Structure 1
């Protein structure tokens, strides 16, 4: 969503980018009892690290000998073989649902970019027949985080995300931004239970561990994000990896999608070439910790239509669409407008699944032409959008963002997009 400039009092906060603390990285003792069973399978694939230590075995995705697989990790060669596979009786450490606790303490440094956005199994061969081996990057959490049975399912083109909603971690008034506390975030996630997936924009205010705990509790998924270039890629990836490991048993399926930036090309902060570079960095960092699901940049319709090469590397085309900014669209026609814009994006990026990552209507601000602002207009717009989309769309936003600044260019509506 288009963003507005902040007053000078926030400059100090912006200067501490990268200083976000991650108390969630504190180590805890973990005692795991593993029970093994033995069975015979065919077409086994053994995954090892660079030291030759086995990590897990997969028998799901098989190809002809000599064909490179793209199922889980690169350079997986599968040969027809029979092997005795020793694997845990369960797919991984299954943790009981923890008593809910929020052991994160966000710092004021979490405000660093607020002014800029609105928005696996081991094996033992039983015969001399060849068992194919795949080398994967080692990680301190590799055996814990790997989920070979679910990784190939991440990002399947036939999937669709349930209707989602976006979430903002800040509170306060113009010129006075604060982080919501973990307890406040937990309470607001409770109010978002009806939505199958929640979009977060990074790890501002230490939201990642809270979001993972709450999403698990509410049987939801998450769209995670890295707000580059303001946020450090490795910092956010580490926070995601730790939260998934500690609070979801290392199962990455709770993360359905990851954005690598949000409207930065539209704002002329980065170039398309830079986005491609960021994409590669994020893909590499996420694959090292066990996430193989879809990722991509989030942009506006004009940015994508004018630069369709934005879609070249993206697993899906991710786009923010707000009917309110079209002066010829009434609130009750918002859904129709969004559908027409989705078609424009599909035309620009054919053969790519389109996911609308923001779409809503403000309840306050300045009306312009046919785009009127009121509580009733907002209700009509959301009703129209929901009538047109029941999947692959995130409503914007869960709650008002009172910390933002009013601006004529956004019709003084930046603070009032909350629908809950």
Structure 2
């Protein structure tokens, strides 16, 4: 056996020497299974191996390592010769190991060294080289006393069932080429773990079958052979994924398989038991869900068991593999990053099961046509505005004036807008609309939008019981207050929220995609969160009980998402929130992709501010009136949005940074247990997105595809916002450009960082796939993971490109559709438009 007597935690490549005690113990460990040992060097303590081998009756083939260090080369040769003189059990000296294969010595140079050694000893002298080197260099054969051929079919990609036959055939080729020359198969083996190489698949069972079959054949044919190697070598992580696993014994000096009798495959019973127990533990919370259906429970429990199996597999890998050095850092970092993705995956499985197979929502507020109620509490509608186009704001005021509610006032609060062109027309228009409309101009107010709304509260009519907030670009339905204000007759209700919608989706394909992306949040996520009284309050189409606002501390400027912050504070105080998915208001979409990204950055950055402010209140003893379901929904909601997006972007960037090491230095790609979760989570995301959009959002498949692009396109933006929240304590409130007078102006490409990262990921995936000469499964999986990780970045680049393209307009697509329909025999070109129906003027 090849013999490297180093402890499990030793690393001879860093100059660590072995000890006499280690050598003696390791000789004792292999003595029952072998007749001889082979070393590869004669320094660092290895010069004493022959002595200790003799004590246990073992022969020794001594190695002298030859490389470019001439000083060490001389010492290696001197020590090997000395060991041969002192120990009669030395059967040969092997000068150099694959020195020609590694191009560290030419055949002529190595022959010269071999001849010098032969002149100083009576022990047979040779060198170790792969079998093809011996066939290519007959002059080397003439210089040595015997051929020490390395036959390692794994590196040739040979399937395990052909390994023994191929190895014997190679031996016969050497015999035919050099008749009469003694031939020793100086290296033969098979790894018990690691990546495949073409059709060669490592494995414990494969190693056992190959080694036992080869030994039986070689003994029957009288072939001398040396197995590589005696022990697993944990430090050999540089020899690809299999370098650590060639041992007949593991690093703890335990035999990895029986040398005789039945070969029993590993049952993994302990891993299966852990997986089962974890699956049961993760499934128990499923049965705490109210109104649970059988199918819903089965799907959620299946997801929980899948996660349990993955954790058990990762644990088994950690315990049964040699995760050392840089691999350990990569492994642990990958797990840390994967945990949020797995949590999000479970949440999406739960949401998918609940919506597809659960019961119909019961808390959803659905208005029924009725006459005005007997009591009509006063509503104060607040419209904050900052540098808003006056004509747009006038449309909002006109819609408020048409409200079917007798008892309301409307406060227009212009803040930090010194240009009279923005506010003078609005001031005059409020006078035209009558006493119900109050105009407030705040030339200089602190606290952004929240500061303006705080001032508005001081100007609110004393008898106003409900505060309504709408953005300056919203046109509201006449029945908004008529349908929703009666919900406040329940004295425990503090918030009634209606969804956002938009009236300008037909501006372009990009705007249509953005609008459909928004709809998914309001028709899917908000409806489900409402079932647990845990909706996210957003600053338009929102009605709040004045008393609840006062109790919660009014509008705060500690975050730039003051609406969500206040809504959460109200719910924490014990007030109920209600949600309707009926549209009562239609605003304007962001003018361009840059504005869309700016808005999402503000929401995500504000979300991180809210987490810092409220996270302690999410704890069971957080001092609020939140119940367990509410705490869970808010916490997982944050992880699902901010955590998954930021971790997903970070994993993508780290994966991209790892590619040069794989391509340039041949460093192993991540294990499949680390890449498969990425692929699986992506599959769940696709299934979740398609199924829930089809079930809950009134849209078409094409619009749904656009929504997917829009959702993916802001992943990097959300991740950047999370990162910025750690860098900057308080970023300024950034207004989203809507209805801008400069909407048609030329703009810089809005997705350059995403295009660079996405292009890098996609090109890396292609490069890995094209250079995967040996069809390593892990490399293909890693390449596929890179390609999938590129999609959000490329989606942003596509939308950024589309925005400046003529294809962003509907007209070219309509024309192509008309032409395509015109080519169909007997069918007139369709005249109907594919433009979205304009729901409200």
Normalising by structure 1, what TM-score? Answer: 0.53
The verdict on how the C-alpha distance between 1:366 and 1:313 changes in structure 2, with shifts beyond 3 A counting, is same
Where does residue 224 of structure 2 map in the other structure? 392
8 Å CA contact 2:42–2:77 kept in 1: the answer is: no
Where does residue 53 of structure 2 map in the other structure? 215
Where does residue 68 of structure 1 map in the other structure? none
Where does residue 167 of structure 1 map in the other structure? 3
Where does residue 103 of structure 1 map in the other structure? none
Is 2:113 the partner of 1:281? no
8 Å CA contact 1:169–1:179 kept in 2: the answer is: no
1:201 alignment partner, SS class:
coil
8 Å CA contact 1:166–1:199 kept in 2: the answer is: yes
1:215 alignment partner, SS class:
helix
8 Å CA contact 1:224–1:258 kept in 2: the answer is: yes
1:298 alignment partner, SS class:
strand
Where does residue 357 of structure 1 map in the other structure? 186
Is 2:18 the partner of 1:186? no
| Cα distance between partner residues in 1 of 2:10 and 2:44 | 16
Q: 2:45 aligns with which of 206, 210, 216?
A: 206
Is 2:153 the partner of 1:320? no
C-alpha RMSD of matched pairs (Å): 2.3
8 Å CA contact 1:400–1:419 kept in 2: the answer is: yes
| Cα distance between partner residues in 1 of 2:238 and 2:40 | 21
8 Å CA contact 2:84–2:123 kept in 1: the answer is: no
| Cα distance between partner residues in 1 of 2:110 and 2:179 | 20
2:214 alignment partner, SS class:
helix
8 Å CA contact 2:61–2:94 kept in 1: the answer is: yes
Is 2:127 the partner of 1:297? yes
Deviation at 1:234, TM superposition (A): 4.6
Normalising by structure 2, what TM-score? Answer: 0.27
Larger radius of gyration: 2
8 Å CA contact 2:159–2:201 kept in 1: the answer is: no
The verdict on how the C-alpha distance between 1:347 and 1:372 changes in structure 2, with shifts beyond 3 A counting, is same
Deviation at 1:368, TM superposition (A): 3.2
2:37 alignment partner, SS class:
strand
Deviation at 1:370, TM superposition (A): 3.0
Where does residue 41 of structure 1 map in the other structure? none
Where does residue 76 of structure 2 map in the other structure? 236
| Cα distance between partner residues in 1 of 2:238 and 2:58 | 33
Deviation at 1:375, TM superposition (A): 1.0
Deviation at 1:212, TM superposition (A): 2.5
The verdict on how the C-alpha distance between 1:328 and 1:206 changes in structure 2, with shifts beyond 3 A counting, is closer
Deviation at 1:350, TM superposition (A): 2.9
More helix, by proportion? 2
Where does residue 18 of structure 1 map in the other structure? none
The verdict on how the C-alpha distance between 1:392 and 1:270 changes in structure 2, with shifts beyond 3 A counting, is same
Where does residue 234 of structure 2 map in the other structure? 402
2:44 alignment partner, SS class:
helix
8 Å CA contact 2:228–2:247 kept in 1: the answer is: yes
Deviation at 1:308, TM superposition (A): 2.1
Where does residue 262 of structure 1 map in the other structure? 97
Alpha-carbon deviations, 1:297-322, whole Å to 9, x = none?
21111211222221011111111111
Deviation at 1:218, TM superposition (A): 0.8
Number of paired residues? 241
Q: How does 1:3-402 map to 2 (within 5 A)?
A: 165-171=1-7, 172=9, 178-193=16-31, 194-209=33-48, 211-229=49-67, 230=69, 232=72, 234-240=74-80, 242-243=82-83, 250=86, 252-284=87-119, 286-287=120-121, 292-330=122-160, 332-390=161-219, 391-402=223-234
Alpha-carbon deviations, 1:339-367, whole Å to 9, x = none?
11112222333321110111100011102
1:296 alignment partner, SS class:
strand
1:268 alignment partner, SS class:
coil
1:166 alignment partner, SS class:
coil
Alpha-carbon deviations, 1:161-199, whole Å to 9, x = none?
xxxx01114453788673333212211111111311100
8 Å CA contact 2:185–2:225 kept in 1: the answer is: yes
| Cα distance between partner residues in 2 of 1:244 and 1:347 | 31
Deviation at 1:201, TM superposition (A): 1.1
2:16 alignment partner, SS class:
strand
Alpha-carbon deviations, 1:123-167, whole Å to 9, x = none?
xxxxxxxxxxxxxxxxxxxxxxxxxxxxxxxxxxxxxxxxxx011
Unaligned runs of 5+ in 1: 1-164
8 Å CA contact 2:43–2:76 kept in 1: the answer is: no
| Cα distance between partner residues in 2 of 1:385 and 1:304 | 21
| Cα distance between partner residues in 2 of 1:215 and 1:418 | 19
| Cα distance between partner residues in 1 of 2:108 and 2:60 | 27
8 Å CA contact 1:317–1:349 kept in 2: the answer is: no
Deviation at 1:327, TM superposition (A): 2.1
The verdict on how the C-alpha distance between 1:418 and 1:336 changes in structure 2, with shifts beyond 3 A counting, is same
The verdict on how the C-alpha distance between 1:184 and 1:217 changes in structure 2, with shifts beyond 3 A counting, is same
| Cα distance between partner residues in 2 of 1:244 and 1:352 | 22
2:235 alignment partner, SS class:
coil
1:258 alignment partner, SS class:
strand
Q: 296-305 or 368-377: which moved more?
A: 368-377
The verdict on how the C-alpha distance between 1:243 and 1:344 changes in structure 2, with shifts beyond 3 A counting, is closer
2:99 alignment partner, SS class:
coil
| Cα distance between partner residues in 1 of 2:6 and 2:197 | 28
Deviation at 1:404, TM superposition (A): 1.5
Unaligned runs of 5+ in 2: 250-841
Alpha-carbon deviations, 1:18-45, whole Å to 9, x = none?
xxxxxxxxxxxxxxxxxxxxxxxxxxxx
1:351 alignment partner, SS class:
coil
8 Å CA contact 2:19–2:45 kept in 1: the answer is: no
8 Å CA contact 2:189–2:211 kept in 1: the answer is: yes
Q: 2:242 aligns with which of 390, 408, 413?
A: 413
8 Å CA contact 1:173–1:403 kept in 2: the answer is: yes
8 Å CA contact 1:319–1:354 kept in 2: the answer is: yes
